[in-house]
Structure 1
């Protein structure tokens, strides 16, 4: 079983670091659209890392399975990763995969909701 709490903590550290880079380093050379993409990616990465932390705790308490954790992690990587890449100059067509990451995140949250409603503890 993966240590989802540790993975969440790494995601949060990465989000803070990338957020700082966007606010200080990227701000001088990026367009407004690139900065918006960077901000959105950082916000979603941080929020979903906090969600992953909660799910990691729920897994240890045997309230949830690893499935929503996997879905959030994969979704965060695809969603934020594609936005970060575009903000750094990758082709805009890469934005076509961003909604795939968002879909993974939505399914992860819904999976967690179903698990919570089924939990009898």
Structure 2
């Protein structure tokens, strides 16, 4: 499973920092949308970096965006994080616009950095570029 994230977004960086210690088996890998791998995965999914308002999760030949991507990631973490699937009961037309609102305002509300996330040495192999 690969998560394509915005390395300049402090909220996205916090999400990656949250996931690293909780993915004990190392199933999740990370690609920034500013890197070559991330851009190739975005292009493959039909997404453009300059107007991106979603997290992209790629697992094999399948990909997910918006809240479905978050649910997939939390599912991969195992229990108790799989309980997040209860939010699946909320229809996507309600969940996803709220997600996009946060994504559109992520820099304004959470901040932006020009420095890329430097992964811990023991987790660096999980970052694709």
TM-score calculated relative to the size of structure 1: 0.29
Work out which of the two has the higher radius of gyration on C-alpha atoms and give 1 or 2.
1
Structure with higher RCO (Cα < 8 A, 6+ apart): 2
Q: Give the number of the structure whose residues are more often strand, by fraction.
A: 2
Q: Give the number of the structure whose residues are more often helix, by fraction.
A: 1
